[in-house]
Amino acid sequence: MKFLDEGFSLSGKTALITGGSRGLGREMALAFAKAGADIVVVSRKLEACEKVAAEIEALGRRALPIPCHVGRWEQIDHLVDAVYKQFGKIDILVNNAGKSPLYDSLVDVSEAMWDSVLSLNLKGPFRLSALIGKRMAEGEGGSIINISSITAVSPTVDEVPYAAAKAGLNSLTLGLADTYGPKVRVNCIMPGAFLTDIAKAWDMEAVMKRFESQTSLRRPGRPEEIIGTALYLASDASSYTTGAIIPVDGGYRK
Ligand SMILES: NC(=O)c1ccc[n+]([C@@H]2O[C@H](COP(=O)([O-])OP(=O)(O)OC[C@H]3O[C@@H](n4cnc5c(N)ncnc54)[C@H](OP(=O)(O)O)[C@@H]3O)[C@@H](O)[C@H]2O)c1
């Protein structure tokens, strides 16, 4: 069956993944490479991107490591120019880089912290999607995947600015899907808690106890468990799916 043989293939595609150097981004970068795509690995630290790029090249794919602060539009404009110069196209964009800094109370959230959370989680994905979505729509089409968070629809006291930014990213998903359809599909994954580097700061005993009662699967996610949904949305397997916001959260309920 052609669909089952080729539906999930990314052969001949180029994917740009922000935050591709670690955590969920690295998992998606390596999985997309295994599915046949060339990968642009983006984060602030060139060395970290180069490491993942070397792993991708070892899989026989092309890789381009580029440092970029995704909250800064001027750097994004340079990034997009550099990628089109090198690869000539981007078929898949994954807006994955994100962060949620700690604060003591809402009045302790400084304007600088608010701006930096909104810049990375919302403003950057908007600019990248606008620049790349336009070119995808004028060219051969493409797939944009936003990595939001379950906190977007279920905010907790310690993540209020982040949750608001991710809710904005959910909304952006719908607006972009309509703007750049029918050639470009735009979808969103809302992860629950995954055991990436951010989990290193967690009190694991308390966390595991919480997950026993708060998730139907009774545990947090392993980083590689993001891959199935990401590969589905990146590939033709999801050719009739756009504007979808998909929780991947082990059945989280607050
Ligand atoms: N892990 C979870 O439990 C969880 C839950 C819900 C949602 N999410 C979302 O999933 C995405 C990935 O999370 P993760 O846990 O994999 O994160 P992570 O392990 O902390 O990795 C974050 C990645 O983003 C990059 N990054 C950070 N700030 C950046 C900036 N200003 N510009 C460009 N790149 C930047 C980091 O590299 P550099 O440091 O080199 O820049 C790194 O590659 C995020 O959007 C996060 O909000 C995660």
User: Which atom of ligand 1 is the closest one to the Cα of 162?
Assistant: 47
Nearest to 97 by CA among 185, 196, 201: 196
The Å distance, Cα 153 to ligand 1 centre, comes to 19
Which residues lie closer than 8 Å to 51 by C-beta, 6 or more apart?
21
In the structure, what pLDDT confidence band is assigned to residue 116 with cuts at 50, 70 and 90? very high
The answer as to whether 254 is a domain residue is no
Q: How many domains does the chain have?
A: 1
User: Which domain covers residue 66, as residue numbers?
Assistant: 2-247
The question of whether 162 is a catalytic residue gets the answer yes
The residue whose CA is least distant from atom 19 of ligand 1 is 23
Q: Name the residue of 42, 50, 127, 149 to mutate for ligand 1: max ligand atoms within 8 A of Cβ.
A: 149
HSE of 150, CA atoms in CB hemisphere, 13 A: 16
The residue whose CA is least distant from atom 25 of ligand 1 is 19
The answer as to whether 88 is a domain residue is yes
Nearest to 95 by CA among 242, 219, 234: 234
State the amino acid at position 82 in one-letter form.
A
Q: Break the chain down into helix, strand, coil percent, rounded to 5.
A: 55, 15, 30
Rg value, the chain, Cα: 18
The alpha carbon of 131 is separated from its chain's Cα centroid by a whole number of angstroms, namely 17
Helix locations, 35-189, DSSP H: 46-58, 73-87, 111-118, 124-138, 160-180
CATH number at residue 160: 3.40.50.720
Task: Give SS3 for 160.
Answer: helix
Report pLDDT digits (tens) over 140-186: 999 999 999 999 999 999 999 999 999 999 999 999 999 999 999 99
The answer as to whether 146 is a domain residue is yes
Nearest to 190 by CA among 112, 139, 126, 245: 245
Report pLDDT digits (tens) over 183-222: 999 999 999 999 999 888 778 888 888 888 999 999 999 9
User: Which atom of ligand 1 is the closest one to the Cα of 124?
Assistant: 32
pLDDT at 1: 57
Taking the CB of residue 111, how many other CB atoms lie within 10 A of it? 7
The answer as to whether 64 is a domain residue is yes
The answer as to whether 14 is a domain residue is yes
User: Which atom of ligand 1 is the closest one to the Cα of 121?
Assistant: 45
